[in-house]
Structure 1
Amino acid sequence: MFHVKPSDIPAPPPAAERIFGENLEKAVAYHLSLATVGSQRGFIGPREVPRLWDRHVLNCAVIGEVMPQEASVIDVGSGAGLPGIPLALARPDLRITLVEPLLKRSVYLGEVIEQLQLNNVQVLRGRAEEKALRAEVGKAGVVTSRAVAPLGKLCQWSMPLVGKAGAMIAMKGASVHEELERDERQIRAAGGGKGEVIQVGADLLPEPSTVVRIPKVR
């Protein structure tokens, strides 16, 4: 089994303090958990450990730039807690529900929530497309995700969880414009409006993160 040596775990970059503020210590603890426990349990690839800060923790945290104040947020397919955990640390005013179908990951998320004493975060095991999960989690002002599914499918899963006047705000890559064009019909059928592509973290990170915001219109 792969084990990470403490000497192999990078220190937080200067931007981390600006992003997390008084929660920097908790962010460092989460980063350490991803690099050790997360890697040992197969949630994080060994090659990702040296770039966990920039490519995973910080680039997820900066999506808080486009989140409304004191919003309720559902993170669909949270995995090892990305983007939900960094978002909760950067924006403690948000109320975040992590939705994760796999038992081993949902157990890990519960451990992280307890370890970091994240009173604004809860985890629910299930799939966003399941009626039982939808009934349990209710609706939120924002539904977010990272690397879960193509945009059209993601809208089908996410929009039923978005409340009135809310939006899906999903992390996406360079192909997001093509996805918006390709999946326009699916997005409309799911109740989504016109998508807006936004760059976040441009003044904080070497490479900004890209999100697409799709409002719920019906």
Structure 2
Amino acid sequence: MTEAAELPPAPEQARAVFGDRFADVVRYAELLADAGVKRGLIGPREVPRLWERHLLNCAVLSEVVPEGVTVCDVGSGAGLPGIPLALVRPDLKITLLEPLLRRTNFLNEVVELLGLDHVTVVRGRAEEVLGTLPPVHVVTARAVAPLDRLAAWGVPLLRPYGEMLLLKGDTAEEEVKSAGAALSKLGAVDTSVLHVGEGVVEPLATVVRVEVGESPGGVRFAAKRAKAARTGRARRRR
């Protein structure tokens, strides 16, 4: 049996980034390093680099999230980036969307333990909640899927003129180029690559921003969402 890796102390940057929620993020880090590994939510090799590669890398996403908006974190997994974002941005209303039961159980435990009243956990896939989950201003995701596939899931969840803010790696520029046609069909009006976290993380975190116009998801997805909404209303009237 491989010996469990030890969680390193929180770096000074974490105190500055998380402020009065620093004790909460330490507790979250401890849960990830213990229960998160035991339940298979993160790999044991990620524990030594949990702060820099995961928690701080996700928290700096807050630099580009508008104030007071609704957010859906698609494929939230162990809560990255949704939980760190929630800890640094109490002004946001965040939905953690995750299809696997063992992960949603963990997320519900974390939300309750940390008192994150502005966070809701929903079990399901993006295509399954269309019409039942209210459209949001921002969709986030990290390490879920290639950009074209992720956009097909996330863009239809957006309100008109909303945006996807996706944490990506070194291939972000290439993904944007190869997904150009697919993004256009989905109603994207602008796509850009941003770098955030100066003075906090090294290298900087890479964010792909996909902005949509008046009809996010295109006509086919808009019709699907409308149909799902009508079905949901009919069921509620019964």
TM-score, L = length of structure 1: 0.95
**Aligned equivalents of 1:111 and 1:135: distance in 2?**
27
- Whether the 8 Å CA contact 1:100–1:126 is kept in 2: the answer is yes
1:9-88 aligned within 5 A: 9-88=7-86
> Which residue number in structure 1 is paired with residue 228 of structure 2?
none
Can you give the 5+ residue segments of structure 2 that lack an aligned partner in the other structure?
216-238
Aligned-residue identity in percent: 48
The RMSD of aligned alpha carbons is: 1.2
Larger-Rg structure? 2
**Aligned equivalents of 1:3 and 1:23: distance in 2?**
30
- Whether the 8 Å CA contact 2:190–2:212 is kept in 1: the answer is no
Q: How many residues align?
A: 214
**Aligned equivalents of 2:144 and 2:31: distance in 1?**
22
> Which residue number in structure 1 is paired with residue 196 of structure 2?
200
- Whether the 8 Å CA contact 1:2–1:40 is kept in 2: the answer is no
- Whether the 8 Å CA contact 1:139–1:161 is kept in 2: the answer is yes
> Which residue number in structure 2 is paired with residue 94 of structure 1?
92
- Whether the 8 Å CA contact 2:7–2:50 is kept in 1: the answer is no
> Which residue number in structure 1 is paired with residue 144 of structure 2?
148
Residue deviations 1:60-109, cap 9 Å, x none?
01000000001110000000000000000011111100000001001110
> Which residue number in structure 1 is paired with residue 108 of structure 2?
110
Q: Is the counterpart of residue 187 in structure 1 residue 183 in structure 2?
A: yes
**Aligned equivalents of 1:206 and 1:179: distance in 2?**
22
- Whether the 8 Å CA contact 1:80–1:105 is kept in 2: the answer is yes
- Whether the 8 Å CA contact 1:196–1:212 is kept in 2: the answer is yes
> Which residue number in structure 1 is paired with residue 134 of structure 2?
138
**Aligned equivalents of 1:12 and 1:209: distance in 2?**
18
**Aligned equivalents of 2:73 and 2:45: distance in 1?**
25
Can you give the 5+ residue segments of structure 1 that lack an aligned partner in the other structure?
none
- Whether the 8 Å CA contact 1:169–1:211 is kept in 2: the answer is yes
> Which residue number in structure 2 is paired with residue 215 of structure 1?
211
**Aligned equivalents of 1:148 and 1:19: distance in 2?**
25
Counterpart residue identity of residue 82, structure 2: G
- Whether the 8 Å CA contact 1:155–1:192 is kept in 2: the answer is no
